[in-house]
Structure 1
């Protein structure tokens, strides 16, 4: 089951515009709705037997992890989340709007760029729940990224990890339609793509597809009217920049 949306329009708008939500300034351990900083060298026992899944959007934020895993208690709820830097990639907007009104993130190759991501270390029991929230809506595909340079904070560098990538492609930059738009909320070094915040990205959709409404009305209408949102996503796909992540091997779609 997907996580529940808030009831009020104000709360829906905060949720939509708040993506990708705040992530701690460093690695942390999530447990039962709380996050505790992980300092010093990473204890290998914390990640042993777990699957390293790159979190490039909202899954890096404790509040989003809680929305998805808040039903778990005790040790079953524990998820180590390590900050990392991914070389030759950037975090860009996907060419789709989520059911909660945000334009979510995906990865895209960007030679020379080094982008900050997080790694959620999931147990085999937790992975199906993450699949349910990512793949269940038909927006993401899950697979293995091989041959990467993923420098994990206070831990060993990874050359292989797993990730969810948008099946819709990347949101095209209206100023450079052949290029994607990057997320300003996600730090990066030597970024080559134009980066904007969530509200500016939503304004791109507003101007191109629903100029008759104001921005907030457009967001709320697409949250509440599923066929309308599907038509919007179809229109975005037609103009999308095809995603490119070398070394990605599809596992589940």
Structure 2
């Protein structure tokens, strides 16, 4: 590795912490711009589109290079992943209505026709796509059809075929029936615990306790997921009609 590559390590760029290791960091640090994730490095990209790969809009931790690196290492995959910054119209970032076995409450896209968000598109080859599918057991990979959803890359090019992972438990609402936005893990867990004595009984009174208990007990995570529904905190994402792949 030459000096230029050393300057592009995830550690040097402040991108090395994976939410799978530190759940309160969810969704994880995202790059300042597009790049090629190659092992422990985020290198410059020579092109933004990759027609031989599948484009996936990342609304949660799949936009974190450290999280992707962590997932690929578990599956023994070492091939690079292009990560491209994009402006996405038609989606917003909601809160998944399930407690992850990894200790956090993750994000999920919601239908938002008048909203434009800066998100990342990850371009996955067949092996990488199968790996990400396998690491998202609570999600369905759905096709985002144009023109209802517009994904515009940094060079202004608009994509026609792209996917996103939608949580099949639904999303949490904001108290008025609409999907709530994801404010980051610590703020989210603090708000959820403050609003539910039953959730505090299961997971404790602090975000740290919540994460530790969730990571230690898969059955507790399932109980927390059921509690969201029992307390009528769940609503639809508005994406249920999309074609599942």
The structure 1 segments of at least 4 consecutive aligned residues displaced by more than 6 Å after TM superposition are 11-14
**What does residue 52 of structure 1 align with?**
55
Is the contact made by 1:169 and 1:237 (CA closer than 8 Å) also made in structure 2? no
Does residue 62 of structure 1 match 2:65? yes
Does residue 145 of structure 1 match 2:148? no
> In 2, Cα distance between the equivalents of 1:250 and 1:89?
17
Matching of residues 166-245 of structure 1 within 5 Å:
166-173=167-174, 176-183=175-182, 196-207=183-194, 208=196, 209-212=198-201, 213-215=204-206, 216-238=208-230, 239-245=233-239
The 3 A distance-change label for structure 1 pair 217 and 29 is: same
- Residue 247 (structure 1) shift: 6.4
Q: Which runs of 5+ in 1 are unaligned?
A: 1-10, 184-195
* C-alpha RMSD of the superposition: 2.2
> In 2, Cα distance between the equivalents of 1:128 and 1:43?
22
**What does residue 9 of structure 2 align with?**
none
**What does residue 37 of structure 2 align with?**
30
Is the contact made by 1:140 and 1:166 (CA closer than 8 Å) also made in structure 2? yes
Other structure's SS at 1:182 match: coil
Does residue 130 of structure 1 match 2:132? yes
Other structure's SS at 2:157 match: coil
- 1:29-57: CA deviations, max 9, x gaps? 01112111337xx355xx13100011111
Aligned partner of 1:15 among 19, 22, 47: 22
Q: Which runs of 5+ in 2 are unaligned?
A: 1-17
Alignment TM-score, normalising by the size of structure 1: 0.79
The 3 A distance-change label for structure 1 pair 37 and 181 is: farther
> In 1, Cα distance between the equivalents of 2:35 and 2:156?
13
Matching of residues 26-105 of structure 1 within 5 Å:
26-38=33-45, 42=47, 44=49, 47-70=50-73, 71-73=76-78, 77-105=79-107
Q: Which one has the bigger strand percentage?
A: 1
The 3 A distance-change label for structure 1 pair 168 and 124 is: same
> In 2, Cα distance between the equivalents of 1:246 and 1:69?
28
- Residue 155 (structure 1) shift: 5.6
> In 2, Cα distance between the equivalents of 1:221 and 1:126?
30
**What does residue 158 of structure 1 align with?**
159
Is the contact made by 1:12 and 1:220 (CA closer than 8 Å) also made in structure 2? no
The 3 A distance-change label for structure 1 pair 35 and 235 is: same
